[in-house]
Amino acid sequence: MKAICIPIIKKLTAMIFGSILFLSSCGEVYDLNAFEWEPETPLNDSVFNREITVLNFQPFEGVENIQQPSDRSPLDAEQPSTLFSLERFSRIHDAYTVSERWDLSIGGFGDITANSGSARGIGYGSNAVGGLVVLDTFYSKIMDVPAGIILEVPGYGGLDAQGTMSTRIGTTVYTYGGNFIRPDKVINRDSPDPVLAEEARMYSHMLYALSEELLRTFPNAKNIHGGPLRPRAMIVRTARGNYAKVEMLSYYHDILDPELMRRGLENFLVGSVSFRYMVIKAEELRFGFVERRPPLTIDMTRGTKIISDSLSN
């Protein structure tokens, strides 16, 4: 009888003790998966008025790249995270989807949406007021939030019509089985020489961010329709109502130079996403004349942060 009762008593005691801890904890709530909900902390002003470059954000790699204090419970490694906070320059666990803690959801083939609690989609039901619009211009040319601009809710920043037969404006082009930006690289895709055919394969089915660097590197590049390639940048309203300008840079791990981009095991298609942005407070509305802090570069896979010596021009 004792052998039966003692485990039961221990189990009940553990349940009661756990309930007491739950009720008495100061803002710390634990769910059945041992996820620790962290209290919201005040936003640090250091994020504003500086250019931030994020390298190697990996939307499909789970949550192992989330920086968390050593005394925190580990997050669920099987829970993928595609959410990113521009204001905290960090990825956000999917458990916070219905909250104001993230600003952009970044997915495959350049799909990007903002955090809006009022629109059906990711984040619906929160108090987030995010939105975005893709502009037909260079990132560096965006000096302010244009008067009367209409942001889409939750918005779309995916594939651009320059790489498809649609009319949708986006931040990225996909080359399908060829490469209309670098046609010289795929001329040997049907070559009987396996070396030449393999090299051509590495330059087909490419995903290019329509960045300033791409246009500078290939000024004569054509889109899929044969017209001149156009740059793209985004204006984003964050979940809390501030503004950011955002430019996608690369979908290849550790590669920002468009001339070096190609498919391969070391930089698999959409395995890593790199982008840059600047956040300003809602009341400022200007990007071009308020850069007061040195640029910051964050490598998500290495956990490194580098602050430049001086302000960028």
Does residue 65 share a domain with residue 179?
A: yes
User: Is 313 a domain residue?
Assistant: no
Look at residues 88, 115, 117 and name the one whose alpha carbon lies nearest to residue 103.
115
291: alpha, beta or left, given left = phi > 0 and alpha = psi -120 to 50?
beta
Question: Which residues does residue 53 pair with via DSSP β-bridges, in sequence order?
Answer: 276, 297
Q: How many residues does the chain have?
A: 313
pLDDT tens-place values along the chain, 313 residues long: 444 444 444 444 444 334 333 333 333 333 334 445 566 667 778 889 999 999 999 876 543 333 333 333 333 334 445 899 999 989 898 889 999 999 999 986 778 999 999 988 888 899 999 999 999 999 999 999 998 899 999 999 999 999 998 899 999 999 999 999 999 999 999 999 999 999 999 999 999 999 999 999 999 999 999 999 999 999 999 999 999 999 999 999 899 999 999 987 554 444 689 999 999 999 988 987 666 788 999 999 888 889 887 665 4
Q: Based on the domain organization, do 141 and 281 belong to the same domain?
A: yes
Q: For residues 112 and 92, what is the distance between their CA atoms, to the nearest angstrom?
A: 15
Q: Structure pTM?
A: 0.80
Domain ranges, residue 15: 1-30
Domain identity same for 10 and 128: no
Do 235 and 102 share a structural domain? yes
Strand 112-114 and strand 233-237: the pairing is unpaired
- Two structure tokens written together for 140: 């560096």
Check whether residue 291 and residue 228 sit in a common domain.
yes
Domain contains 48: yes
What is the tally of structural domains in the chain? 2
Has residue 59 been placed in a domain? Answer: yes
